[in-house]
Structure 1
Amino acid sequence: MKKTLIIVRHAHTFDPVPGQADHERELTPEGRTQARQSAEWLKEQGTLPRKIVASSAKRTQATAGIFAGILLNDSAAYAPEKELFRASETEVLEYVQQHFGHEDSVMVVGHNPTVTQLAIRLGATSVSYLPPASVIVLSFDIENWEDLKFHTGKLVAKFLPDEA
């Protein structure tokens, strides 16, 4: 059986302002447009996630909401996860192994440098950097998400807005 993991970097954000927590940064209007374009691209690919999770940061939740609205017709159809904020690629891998069930296709919306390193270590070796609103689609020949391991994925598709 094949499993599909979609890795998304949050879209473009406002620079931090003095006194503002990093967790509270929001998407710019350009970022919202980027997220919509990336989600539309993914929809055209025909790869729809059954479950979407995002870091608990405002910018990842906003990105996830845009993707959920376009792909699942419900902008609230994602789960914010505190443990994905500032998580390493190993911690994200462990999260996927422990929290995804029988869904064949899942999406994780997160931050750099983690999402770039995660994508590379899972199998997107032709990618060196994920700009804001990037999408990486990887497939795995595994029965269960518990069996997910680094260096076992196949890059199916990618959308890097800076290259589009």
Structure 2
Amino acid sequence: MKILYLLRHAKSSWKDTSLDDFDRPLKKRGRRAGKLMAAYLRDQDISPGLILCSAAKRALQTLRYVHQSMDANIAVEIEEDLYHASPKGLLERLARLDDGVDQVMVIGHNPGLEALAANLAGDAEAGSLKRMARKYPTAALAVLKTTVKRWRELGPGGARLEQFVCPRDLEI
């Protein structure tokens, strides 16, 4: 069984209009969401064998929060190609993963991340698919489980959406 965690970067700031989109940092709300999601990951004992992260600043800052909540030995790969990755591009990247890694987290961007999650989810926990289809907000996490033995076997409808968690679900 393979498990895929698709985490959208936390909320970014548009305050400095001189910055390229790639260089936008997290805003205060995004930093708070990053901490909430990190706590959730820790509480759920989510610890993937590998994290693939977009090289965009807001994704890297999101990574910092979540990685701190996990085992320090988790491998991290920063990839520029994840910045504007299409669902097809993301799936092709996953197909190249080492099959010895059973759990992978991708920290990336919409619309590619959301479309990939929707494409893979052939089945879902009650209500999760509807919630995800309604909106895949910043810092939201989709947890997809599949019975494939090799990442290259993963395809449309080939996973079950086990959870869809948003920062607002975790706020007190």
Considering the TM-score relative to the shorter chain, is it more than 0.5?
Answer: yes
Cα pair 1:16 1:22 within 8 Å, conserved: no
Q: Which residue of 2 aligns with 1:104?
A: 102
Q: Which residue of 1 aligns with 2:4?
A: 5
Counterpart-to-counterpart distance in 1, 2:14 and 2:166: 21
Residue 13 of structure 1 aligns to a residue in which SS?
coil
Structure 2 residue runs of 5 or longer lacking an equivalent are: none
Q: CA deviation at 1:156?
A: 1.4
Q: Which residue of 2 aligns with 1:158?
A: 164
Change beyond 3 A, Cα 1:100–1:108: farther
Counterpart-to-counterpart distance in 1, 2:61 and 2:75: 12
Q: Which stretch of the first structure deviates more once superposed, 97-106 or 128-137? A: 97-106
Residue 78 of structure 1 aligns to a residue in which SS?
strand
Counterpart-to-counterpart distance in 2, 1:97 and 1:16: 37
Structure 1 residue runs of 5 or longer lacking an equivalent are: none
Q: Which residue of 2 aligns with 1:86?
A: 84
Aligned length: 162
Q: Which residue of 2 aligns with 1:33?
A: 32
Cα pair 1:97 1:146 within 8 Å, conserved: yes
Percentage identity across paired residues of the two chains: 29
Deviations 1:131-158 (A, max 9, x none): 1111111100011111111211111122
Counterpart-to-counterpart distance in 2, 1:111 and 1:96: 15
Q: CA deviation at 1:100?
A: 4.0
Change beyond 3 A, Cα 1:16–1:29: closer
Cα pair 2:49 2:75 within 8 Å, conserved: no
Q: Which stretch of the first structure deviates more once superposed, 12-21 or 140-149? A: 12-21
Q: Which residue of 1 aligns with 2:144?
A: 138
Counterpart-to-counterpart distance in 2, 1:88 and 1:40: 29
Residue 72 of structure 1 aligns to a residue in which SS?
coil
Residue 101 of structure 2 aligns to a residue in which SS?
coil
